Each structure stands twice: as structure tokens, then as C-alpha cells.
Structure 1
Amino acid sequence: MNIGFIGLGNVGGKLAGSLLRNGYHVTIRDLDPEITRRFIDQGAAAASSPRAVAEASDMIITCLPSPRACSAVMEAEDGVIAGLSAGKVWLEMSTTDAQELVRIAARVAATGALAMETPVSGGCHRAATGNISIFAGGDRDTFERVLPVLTTLGRRVLHTGPLGTASMLKVLTNYLATANLCSVAEALTVASKAGLDMNTAFEAIRISSGNSFVHETESQVILNGSRDISFTMDLVLKDVGLFDALARSLEVPLEISPLLLDIFQDGQERYGPREWSSNIIRRLEDACDVEVLGDGFPAELTDTEPEEVGHEVVVRGRSG
């Protein structure tokens, strides 16, 4: 199978790397010539446009930073849709707006091609090893067709239902991770201000009812001081903004989500849109005149679990 991959950023580059590592023929497209050259050196082919990627591939994957970027790549004169034909499959792995995804999927279907949304969750370190989780929205027949590729890219693959469901669940989980990050930042700052040993504080949280995936991962790069989680403040604002817009469209009177947007808007104004999201703790460090640091924590996260063949997650209570 020939797979096209468009968007080789922090997550997309690692996902494309998994495909190459597992023997797939991959045709790439990215605006960064240095990244493109690096993938060519690993055995990928490069295409001159998104349309050329689609024409050369059986499956086309997009992994882009925003719904606007995805729409442009798909719908431009030399975009993906212009290169699609019957039998091809488009996988959207970006975190995107569910309504926009459904709209573009209809245009994909008009060419005779198939569409699935397959956003990922679990961090760049797991994307690098093929151990990330994948939400897959779309019809069951298409899901089963693309499942072998998805279980190469990720360890846990969840069929979420029809198109749009995966995008909604993805922004929901990113919202929860952001809320947890802000609470972890507050807890660690209080611990530091109280004079507690930060390594001990990390372990206390890790073995307690206050533990979480965010603490086990992001707290480590916070305490190292690098704050390098390979995710930036502008992307947090985009993702939480998508969740907030979804909630407002459903007339859910949220209280926490607007506060998170205010916190990260302030963080972006202070430190820049491309600052690592974990450095949101700096707002508290500056206010309290402390540095929240520990000893022996890594500057970047690495997945210490071995790469495993992925599998479909069975939903409790679902028949069939």
C-alpha cells in the first residue's frame, strides 16, 4: 500500500516515521524543506503538492495544526481532493472541528473516495513509538479497511461511531488534559512555595488519588525546567476553543473552560504563542518569585514501553 502523509510537525512527523519504520511506502508533503529532506533520507518520496500526494497514494493522511490549514490543503486547486478518485481513502489525523470535518468528508465522498477521522491522543513520545491511542470516526466497513494501518500507528484504536464523533471526543480529552495541567501547575507551585522537596512531592502525587497521565508526563518536564512537551500555547487555545465552541453550540453553561481560555490567552500574551504549553506554570512562578524545579527529571519525554502491535478497544456494553 502506498500512503501519503501531509504535515510532518511534532505529531505528524512521528506518525509518518512509524509508517516508514514498519515498511510502508510513504509519499510526504511538508512546507519545511529541512523536514522534507530528513524524511527523504529515511526512504520517503516527496511530492510537489497535496494533489500529487493524493494521486500517488492509496491512502492519504493529513495531520495539520488547525481546521483552516486542513481545509486549505484539501480544497485548494492543487489540493488533496483534486487528486482523489474511487477507492482511495483519506484519514484526517488532525485535531479539528467536527462540522468542518463532516463538510470536507462529503466532498471527499463525491470523488468516490472514502473518509475517516483518526485523531491521536497520548503525547508525542508515544506517537514516536507507535504506542499512541487513536480515535476513529466513520462507517464500520471503512474502519475495518484502515484498521491494519491504524494498529501500526497506535496501540489502542477506538471506533467512536460516525464521522464527527472522533473529533468531538478528541477536543473533549484535550480540554480535560488542559484542566489537569493547570491544576498540576498550581499544586506544584504551592508545594515549592511551602518548601517541600519537589521530588518527594512528585512521588506523593504519583502514588495518590491526585495522580493522572498529565502529572506522570508533563510534571517531569516542568520539574526539569525545559517544559518541552512538544505542544504549544497556541495549540491549547485552538483545542480548548473548539471544545468551548462545541459546548456553547449545545447550550452547556460551562464554567471551567472559559477560565482555561483566559489563563492560556494570558500565557500566550506573556510568553508567545509558540511557547511550550507546560510553561504555563511560569505565570505562577513569576507571581510567587519561585522556580518550580526538581532533580533528575528528563528534558524530553521518551516512551519506555516497547512498541507493540495495536488492537481495537472494545467498548463496554456495546453489542456486536
Structure 2
Amino acid sequence: MKIGFIGLGNVGGKLSGSLLRNGKELYVHDLNVDLVADKLADGAKAVSGPAEMMRLCDVVITCLPSPAASDAVMQEMLPEVRPGKIWMEMSTTDEAEVKRLGALVIAAGGAAVDCPVSGGCHRADTGNIAIFAGCDRATFERVLPLLTTMGRRVLHTGDLGSASVLKVVTNYLATAHLVASAEALTTCAAAGMDLNTAYEAIRISSGNSFSHETESQVILNGSRDISFTMDLVKKDIGLFQDVADRAGVPLELNPLMIAMFDDAIARYGERELSPNIIKRLEEATGLCVQAPGFPSEMVDDEPEEPGYEVIPKGAQRAVG
């Protein structure tokens, strides 16, 4: 099977690396020629653009920074879509947009999957990240071997678009946990608590979260480097707001977080690292919320393991 991968940034570069590391025949494309060159050195092959990639490959994966970027790439690929071709959208994108583009692929005889990842860039690098997949069951069975190569836990979420909804839900929760952790750590510092002890107290208690175990560490180190920037947070929680608005849910917390990140972007720039949302509190209090002994970046120290399908509680494994 020939696999194409478009978008070799923070996440896409690592996911495509897992495919190469596991011996897949991979064609790559990105507007950044240096990122392409790195993959060619690892054994990938280059193409002239999205159209040639769809023409050559059985499966084309996109992992792009915005719905607009995915649309632009799809417009180039669509004339080359034929029966048997599969488009896998691994970008964090809008449910309505992935349904619209997927319908175009399906109308041309192909198949479409939205399959975003969750769990941090450090886990994407080792193939231990979680992957959601929205598509019909037959298509899911076809792409499952690729998904279990790129990720450890793979969840079939339902129809096309369902994975994108759940992805922005999880990113909303991660953002809420980040903001809460920033407030908690700053309050601990202001109250004179030892921050190493405060970190452990939160970690071993009901206050723990994935965000605390990762982002709080790089906050306390001072690097604030989680390979994720404020503009991407703003995009993700904006997409979550769109889902809630379409469903008629009167959110209260998310609009506050959007306003907080708007303010932070105005102060520090849209490419500022997202854990530096704490800088707003550091500036307001005059505190430096840091402590010794924490890493400057997160590294997945778990060995790469074969991926598998996660079956929801109370559900039986579907038969393709």
C-alpha cells in the first residue's frame, strides 16, 4: 500500500515518522522544503504536490493547521480521487467542514475518515498517542492497520465528523485544565507554598489531570515548551464553541477562556507557547512561578507498543 502524508509540522512530522519507522512506503509533501528533506533522509519519497500524491497513493493523510488549509489541499486532490482511494484527515478541524470535504471524496468514489490524535506531541513521536476515527465501519477496518501503526489506542467514534467533535471536546478540557493549573500554581506560590511539594500534592490527588502531569512540569521548569502555541489553542476552543453553538448549548466557561487567550495573544503574540497563559498571572502578582528539578520538555519514556482498538464501555465489538 502506498501512503501519502501532507503536513509535516509538530504533529504530522511525528506521525509520518512512525509510519517510516515501521517500514511503510511513504510519500510526503509540505510547503516547508526542509521538513520534506528530513523525511526523505529517513526513506520517504517526494511528490510535486497534493494532486500527484492522490494520483500515486492508495491512502492520503492530511495533518494541517486549519480547515482552510485542508480545503485548499483537497481542491487540488479531488480531480484525482477514484474508487478505492482513501482520504484520512488527521488535522484538528471543524466537524461541518470535514463532513463537507468527505462528502466530495465519497461522491468521487473514494472513502473518507476524520482521525485526529490526542495525547501530546511527545506521544505522537513514539507511536503511543490516542487516535479517534470517524467513518463507516468497513472503512475503519481498512485503515485500522495504519492507525495502530501511528497510535496505541484507537477509538472508532461513529460516522464521519464524530471524531472531530470529540477531538475539540478533549482539547477544550485540556485547555480548561491548563488554565486551572496556572491559577492553582500561582496561588500556591503567592501563599508561600513550596512548588515542588504543591506539584506532587496535585499529582497524587483528585486535582490531578493529564495537563498537570505534562504542562505544569514545563511551566515550573520555565521553558513552557509543550510544542503548542496560543493561536492553536484559540483555534481549538473556537471550534469547540462552534459545536456548542450549533447544538444550542449556552456555554459559560469556554467564552471566558477565549477572552483570556485573546488577551494573551494581544500581549505576547499568537505564536507564544500556550503554557505561558500563566504569564498573565505572573505579571499581575509579580511572581515567577518556577521550581527546580522539572524537565524543559516532555519525553515519552514508555516503549512503543502495538496499537489496538478501544471498545467503549458497555459496547460490543462491531463486526465489519
Fold shared by both chains (TM-score > 0.5): yes
2:257 corresponding residue in structure 1: 260
> Counterpart of 1:84?
81
What is aligned with 1:300?
A: 297
The Cα shift of 1:164 comes to: 1.0
Q: What is the 5 A alignment of 1:9-158?
A: 9-75=9-75, 79-158=76-155
Mark the runs of 5 or more structure 2 residues left unpaired by the alignment. Answer: none
Distance in 2 separating the partners of 1:18 and 1:157 = 15
In the TM superposition, 1:142-181 aligns within 5 A as: 142-181=139-178
Partner amino acid for 1:29?
Answer: H
The 5 A counterparts of 1:166-245 are: 166-245=163-242
Q: Deviations over 1:211-255 (max 9, x none)?
A: 000000111111111111111100111110011111111111110
For 2:92 and 2:298, locate their aligned partners in 1 and report how far apart those are by CA, in whole Å.
21
Determine the structure 1 residue equivalent to 2:307: 310
Shift of 1:107: 0.7
Give the deviation of 1:47 after TM superposition. 1.0
Q: Deviations over 1:120-179 (max 9, x none)?
A: 000000000000000000000000110011000000000000011111111111001101
**Equivalent residue number for residue 288 of structure 2:** 291
Shift of 1:82: 2.3
> How far apart in 1 are the matches of 2:56 and 2:292?
50
Distance in structure 1 (CA, Å) of the matches to 2:81 and 2:6: 14
Mapped to 1, the partners of 2:46 and 2:270 lie a distance apart of 30
- Alignment deviations for residues 79-104 of structure 1 (CA, whole Å, 9 cap, x no partner): 12222211111100001111111110
What amino acid does structure 1 have at the position aligned with 2:133? A
Q: CA deviation at 1:37?
A: 0.9
Q: What amino acid maps onto 2:308 in structure 1? A: H
Letter in 2 for 1:137: G
Runs of 4+ in 1 over 6 A off after TM superposition: none
- The AA in structure 1 aligned to 2:58 is D
Distance 2:99 2:208 in 1: 36
Aligned amino acid, residue 49 of structure 1: G
Deviations 1:264-311 (A, max 9, x none): 011111111011111100110011111110111111110011100000
Superposition TM-score, scaled by structure 1 size: 0.98
Q: CA deviation at 1:36?
A: 1.1
Could you report, residue by residue, the CA deviation over 1:170-210 in whole angstroms, capped at 9, with x for unpaired residues? 11110011011000000000111122111111111000110
Report the AA paired with residue 63 of structure 2: C
Aligned counterparts of 1:56 and 1:299: Cα–Cα separation in 2: 41
What amino acid sits opposite 2:100 in the alignment? R
Q: Is there any run of 5+ residues in structure 1 with no aligned partner, and where?
A: none
Q: Percent identity?
A: 61
Aligned partners of 2:57, 2:196: CA distance in 1, in Å?
A: 49
**Within 2, Cα distance between the matches of 1:268 and 1:203?**
30
- 1:94-120 CA-partner distances (Å, limit 9, x unpaired): 011111111101110122111111000
